[in-house]
Amino acid sequence: MLNFKLPSRPRLTTLLTVSICSTVAVIVLSLLFLVDHFAVDYAKKEAKQRLQQLSWQMRDSLDLVMQKAVGDVSLLAQLSQVKDAKDPKEVGSILDNLQKTFPSYAWIGLANPDGKVFAATHAVLEGQDVSQRPWFKSGKLGLYAGDYHPALLLEKKLPYNADPWRFVDVSIPVLRSDGSSRGIMGVHLSWNWARDLAKNLLAPTDSQYGVEIIVVREDNTVILGPKALEEKKITSQSVELSRSGKTGATEETWADGNSYLTGYSQTGRSKEFPGLKWSILVRQPKEVALQASRQLRHDILLLGSVLGLLLAGIAAILARRLAAPLNELSAAIEKRGKGASGQAIPVVTSFHEAHVLSVILGEMVRNEEQHVLALRKMNEGLESTVAERTREIENKAQELEKALAQQQSTQLRLQAITDNLPSVITYIDAGQRYRFVNAHATSVFGVMPDQMIGKTLEEISGEQAYAVMKPHIQAALQGENISFEMTGIGDNQRNYQYNYIPAKDAAGQVEGFYAMTFDITDRKRVEAMKNEFVSTVSHELRTPLTSINGALKLIVAGVTGEIAPKAKELLTVALRNADRLVRLINDILDIEKIESGNMEFDLKSNPLVPLIKETVAASEAFAEQYGVVMKFEYAGEDLNVKLDRDRFVQVLTNLLSNAIKFSNTGEFVEVLVENKEKTVKVTVADHGSGIPEDFHDKIFQKFSQVDSSNTKKKGGTGLGLNICKTIIEHMHGTIGFHSVAGKGSQFFFELPKE
Ligand code: ADP
């Protein structure tokens, strides 16, 4: 459905009609322009040429007659009958004969030198005095041509003429045979010949189309032409041009206000005879000359208009024919647009393109219907999917809400639990900022938990404490479980134990760590009291115990005399326990010394190998008791190590005694020395019971013993390795071990070389 308004556009019919009419108009106008420019020009040129030619013909004819007259007069003057004439009749008959050959000779006469006419045609004017006539006067001087003039003496003597008599004269002096003057021979040419000439020259069509011949004398008087102009003076461009000797045709406006095309030329161009200079103008009104081309223009305009109208009609019919199928198609589409979905697109067959268009449109509409159907189905499917998804999302949201509420309550519970615990529990992120703090934090840091959240460890702990904690924090952030003790800074002299437990994400990356801080001040105090008590007791016990032990040894050895076997057995058990007790007390006293900082270390450079040999030798007897073989071989040069001899022997003896104790009969216990770049490594290796994996991290702790019947049998205090570690660390070394349960152990320590 068209749900928008189309802007109004011109219809196809209008467009076609307008364009065809415009084309015709343009063609007609172009034709008119061409006709105006070329046909009119051509017609003008043609007319000018014709008029010019007529003017030439007239000029030539006039010149010819004048020359004839001159020739005739000259010939007469040469005739002996004329030269030496005595009888006027004889001359008269010659003249009459000549006149007969050319009737335009109105009068031919011979005048005596005194001016009396001696002989003339038809004896006219014979005896009359013509001495004052210009032809006579000028003829005396030589060949003379007299210009157009009215008849004076002859007017009444000559027969009646429709036009008044006008003449042109030619005269010549006549000399007798002896050379004396006989008189003047003159010819009066009737102007009628010129008039006839003009009439004959103009074909009937010429006169019909207004062509006129005008002859103008040198004084601008029209001597031949339309009646209205005759013997009147005129001025015109053509006259001027002809005077300058030019010949041609021009377009000019005459005194009557009309525009004429005028051909012009001039007579009297002969060199032998100074003839009369007449301007010969042949004119035709411009309108008439160009009438044919104007008619052509009119005809073209008419034809163009008719053609235009015809084509416009055809265009309108054609446009309607073209538009009809399109209208039919658009009407069908519009109906469809208005909701008539059943409306089929008609197949129109009026012309090929419309046929193709209708077929394609029909196809498109069918396709569109199918698409719409498919879309509708898809939409329905989509709607149900959306509804389903919405339901799912709602359910998820509810679940999430529940989970959130649960989490919140869990968090609250967790907070409540942690708040009630007697230790500070915090969570610190990778940026070392507090993210969780329990209520107990206030008692340690003096800051409310919510004031700690978001703050860094450094901000809360202070610079000094942070400097101590920093390496532990970094270790925890690298994934290590950390435990360390620290005394409060400044006035706070309480003791704290810090435990850092790294928190890792699913990928195993450390996100932060949990920090638990316990106030161990009280525990420390009790421990100190206990230690003091133990050391006091130990000190008090050592002296009597040593004497008891000595006494027992002497008795068992039989120094005090023979004892009953039963008593010896009991005394041996007592001696063994006393031994153990002495060892225990020595160890406790050592520990006490270490912890109170009273153990002295006399660090000196000592050759290592002899010291090891001595210690191994000292343990031989103990090894023998267990049926264990001791081995120590070292081929390299001796090594000097900075150490306290007694303490070193104490450590090595302890490691050897452990190795021996936990070996099986017949096994080896080896001592190895490795000379490393900066340190010397001493290893005591056995092949005995080994240490179970779960005990590895506790082995250096105080009173720690593997919980097995075997260990119990071996005796011992569980303090030896702890003392070893402390001693080695005091000598700036490190201690460690490798052990696989059932396969034996290697305990080693490294001390820096000199
Ligand atoms: P003691 O030997 O006095 O019990 P120690 O601190 O020297 O105390 O040793 C602690 C415990 O470590 C022993 O009780 C024993 O369980 C275990 N242990 C030490 N050395 C070895 C060893 N070489 N082989 C097996 N277990 C050993």
Q: Are 297 and 304 contacting, i.e. CB atoms less than 8 angstroms apart?
A: no
Pocket flag, ligand 1, residue 53 (CB < 6 Å): no
CA–centroid distance, residue 658 to ligand 1 (Å): 5
Which residues of the chain fall below pLDDT 70?
1-7, 271-274, 341, 708-715
Q: How many CB atoms lie within 10 A of CB 619?
A: 21
CA–centroid distance, residue 705 to ligand 1 (Å): 6
Pocket flag, ligand 1, residue 626 (CB < 6 Å): no
Mutate to test the pocket of ligand 1, among 628, 701, 721 (most ligand atoms within 8 A of CB): 721
CA–centroid distance, residue 673 to ligand 1 (Å): 22
Query: What is the C-alpha separation between 206 and 201, in angstroms, rounded?
Result: 9
Distances (CA, A) of 95 to 161, 215, 491: 21, 29, 180
Closest C-alpha residue for ligand 1 atom 2 = 716
* Residue 374, token pair as written in the block: 């498919």
Q: What's residue 325's pLDDT?
A: 82
Q: What's residue 1's pLDDT?
A: 43
Query: What is the C-alpha separation between 162 and 152, in angstroms, rounded?
Result: 17
Pocket flag, ligand 1, residue 717 (CB < 6 Å): yes
Strand partners, 184: 111, 173
Closest C-alpha residue for ligand 1 atom 7 = 720
Pocket flag, ligand 1, residue 587 (CB < 6 Å): no
Q: What's residue 5's pLDDT?
A: 63
Q: Are 751 and 728 contacting, i.e. CB atoms less than 8 angstroms apart?
A: yes
CA–centroid distance, residue 604 to ligand 1 (Å): 29
Pocket flag, ligand 1, residue 716 (CB < 6 Å): yes
- pLDDT digit string (tens) for 433-458? 999 999 888 888 888 888 999 999 99
Query: What is the C-alpha separation between 171 and 688, in angstroms, rounded?
Result: 184
Q: Give the position, in ligand 1's atom list, of the atom nearest the Cα of 654.
A: 7
Query: What is the C-alpha separation between 647 and 699, in angstroms, rounded?
Result: 20
Pocket flag, ligand 1, residue 721 (CB < 6 Å): yes
CA–centroid distance, residue 639 to ligand 1 (Å): 29
Distances (CA, A) of 3 to 106, 339, 362, 705: 107, 11, 21, 94
Q: What's residue 338's pLDDT?
A: 79
CA–centroid distance, residue 721 to ligand 1 (Å): 7
Pocket flag, ligand 1, residue 92 (CB < 6 Å): no
CA–centroid distance, residue 222 to ligand 1 (Å): 168
Element at 324 (helix H, strand E): helix 291-337
Q: If we measure between CA atoms, which residue out of 110, 145, 104, 141 comes closest to residue 125?
A: 110
Distances (CA, A) of 424 to 440, 476, 517: 5, 17, 5
Q: What's residue 2's pLDDT?
A: 47
Pocket flag, ligand 1, residue 43 (CB < 6 Å): no
Pocket flag, ligand 1, residue 691 (CB < 6 Å): yes
Q: What's residue 315's pLDDT?
A: 78
Q: If we measure between CA atoms, which residue out of 289, 278, 221, 216 comes closest to residue 251?
A: 289
CA–centroid distance, residue 749 to ligand 1 (Å): 16
Pocket flag, ligand 1, residue 657 (CB < 6 Å): no
Q: What's residue 132's pLDDT?
A: 92
Pocket flag, ligand 1, residue 689 (CB < 6 Å): yes
Which amino acid makes up residue 157?
K
- pLDDT digit string (tens) for 34-63? 777 787 888 889 889 999 999 999 999 888
Closest C-alpha residue for ligand 1 atom 18 = 658
Pocket flag, ligand 1, residue 706 (CB < 6 Å): yes
Mutate to test the pocket of ligand 1, among 657, 658, 738 (most ligand atoms within 8 A of CB): 658
Q: If we measure between CA atoms, which residue out of 708, 747, 746 comes closest to residue 724?
A: 747
Q: Give the position, in ligand 1's atom list, of the atom nearest the Cα of 718.
A: 8
Indicate the burial class of 674 (C-beta count within 10 angstroms; 0-12, 13-18, 19 or more).
middle
Mutate to test the pocket of ligand 1, among 622, 667, 705 (most ligand atoms within 8 A of CB): 705
- pLDDT digit string (tens) for 100-159? 999 889 899 999 999 999 999 999 889 999 999 999 999 999 899 888 888 888 878 888
Pocket flag, ligand 1, residue 653 (CB < 6 Å): no
